Amino acid sequence: MIARIAAKEFTDTLRDGRFRWSAVIVGTLLCAALGAGARHYTDVKAQHDRAASTMRDFWVNQPAKNPHSAAHYGLWAFKPRTLLSLVDQGVDPYVGVAAYLEAHKQNEFQFRPAMDATATQRFGQWTAATIMQLLLPLLIVVLAFPAFAGEREQGTLRQLLSLGVQPGALAAGKALGVASALGVLLVPAAFLGAAALVLASSEGALGGEWPRIALMGLTYTAYFTVFVAVALAVSARTRSSRAALLVLLAFWAANSLVAPRALSDVARRVYPTPSAFTFVTALDADLKKGLDGHSPDARTAQLLKATLAKYKVSSVDSLPINFDAISMQQAEEDGNKVFDRHYGALYDTYRKQNTVHQLGAVIAPLMAVRSLSMGLAGTDVEHHQAFANAAERYRRRLVKTMNESMAANSRSGDFSYKADPSLWREVPPFEYEAPPIAQAMAMQAPSLWLLGGWLLVALVSVARTRSLRLD
């Protein structure tokens, strides 16, 4: 009986002009977003690969020079785009794509696409994720609001109930009917999306990306299911289809427009992030005075004492190594502790803000879906931090290699020492791989639970439709 009801709802919906038009519009937008996303991804990936190899060439082709100068010369680390960023760009446009790695400093990321964006782009990028998160729920609302309320108005609900149809079967059948109608749009779109991913991935095969893709598919399926169920629940309880539409549009707007903004305000108020200026000022202050409060001069004096004792000599000049290089490395490591503390605190705040966003899913399921989608696409703050950490580790290793070469091969005060260009090759090229899916999902527990909760409540409410009002 449920299948019969679903089949009728499916036919009825497909014959409805409103559905056909809105499905064509949403479908076209979705295809365009996927196409543009794939195109953009391949372009940016090519640029990234070119830039990264050019950077490596610059580094290894440096002439013989003082290793510390080489450390100052530095290099750029470019953040690779993840394959699924073609579906969901996440925070990528706002956090920058490249970091300059040099001696003494952990730099902020540069080149944020949002900086180049025109005013209209402030409304957001139309990625496939935006369309699935905002427009598809709207389509579901338009599709499902009259499910019960419309039949009630037209009198067919009396006719149905006079036949002895179980309200639960009717609700389940209608849910399946709406789902099948959506399937007409979404199944081809999913194939297209898969094709776009396969074509865009450089290996021609998706390899390790499958679990992320599958989970993303499940996330959106759950989201759509929640919307279908909410729409049916509202339609079953409102007197007129007008009222049903009004209530559902209000829910859609609260979920899609109000909640994300309100929650970021709340998160910022509860866990404020420092302004760029405050952050840099505090960082510089700690770099100058050192974390332990000793002046840099005092620390250098102490290091000298220890070094002299180690080599059992009495003056800097009799040291077999370059004390300046050792001192620089020491300063580097002291600085790193400061960076770790300040950047660590900053990312901690981001993470707490992120948890507030995720908990917002209690009211708006979008918050859970947005977080999961970005996390799976590898474009959330968590992934950005993983990349930033990898770049920073690489910087520290590079600087250390340079300082150690200088310390071992020259004497104190000798800044004219030039290292052989073979030294540049001792630093391997920067390579970065996104963290594994388990790590990416570890921060998503609130989203997973809350989306699961919505899904459960939604399905139970449909399955347990016991009685239907007749007017």
Q: Establish if 4 lies at the interface with other proteins (CB under 8 A).
A: yes
Position among 1, 46, 257, 270 found at the interface with other proteins (CB under 8 A): 1
* SS3 (DSSP) at 287: helix
CB of 151 to other proteins, least distance (A): 8
Give the nearer residue to other proteins in terms of CB position, either 173 or 375: 173
Give the Cα separation of 222 and 454 in Å (integer).
9
What single letter denotes the amino acid at residue 98? A
Give the nearer residue to other proteins in terms of CB position, either 154 or 281: 154
Q: What are phi and psi of 101, to 5 degrees?
A: -100, 120
Residues 165-184 binding other proteins (CB under 8 A) are: 165-166
Find all residues with CB under 8 Å of 321, minimum gap 6, and list them.
311, 407, 408, 411, 412
CB of 8 to other proteins, least distance (A): 5
Give the nearer residue to other proteins in terms of CB position, either 4 or 305: 4
Give the Cα separation of 111 and 95 in Å (integer).
8
What single letter denotes the amino acid at residue 124? G
Q: Sketch the per residue contact string, 6 through 45, with other proteins: x for CB under 8 A, - otherwise.
A: --x--xx--xx-----------------------------
Q: Establish if 466 lies at the interface with other proteins (CB under 8 A).
A: no
Bridge-partner residues for 110, per DSSP? 98
CB of 173 to other proteins, least distance (A): 9
Give the nearer residue to other proteins in terms of CB position, either 28 or 159: 159
Residues 149-168 binding other proteins (CB under 8 A) are: 154-156, 158-166
Give the Cα separation of 69 and 299 in Å (integer).
23
CA 328 vs CA 71, 309, 461, 465: distances in Å: 11, 19, 66, 73
Give the nearer residue to other proteins in terms of CB position, either 261 or 466: 466
Give the nearer residue to other proteins in terms of CB position, either 182 or 196: 182
Q: Establish if 203 lies at the interface with other proteins (CB under 8 A).
A: no
Q: Which two tokens stand for residue 463?
A: 């399955």
CB of 470 to other proteins, least distance (A): 6
* SS3 (DSSP) at 9: helix
**Choices 148-156, 175-183, 197-205, 441-449; region in contact with other proteins by CB under 8 A:** 148-156
Find all residues with CB under 8 Å of 93, minimum gap 6, and list them.
112, 113, 114, 117, 125
Question: Residues touching other proteins: how many (CB under 8 A)?
Answer: 21
Give the nearer residue to other proteins in terms of CB position, either 431 or 471: 471
**Lookup result for tokens 């908990």:** 359
> Which residue in 227, 226, 222 sits closest to 140, CA to CA?
227
Applying CB under 8 A, the residues found at the interface with other proteins are: 1, 4-5, 8, 11-12, 15-16, 154-156, 158-166, 470
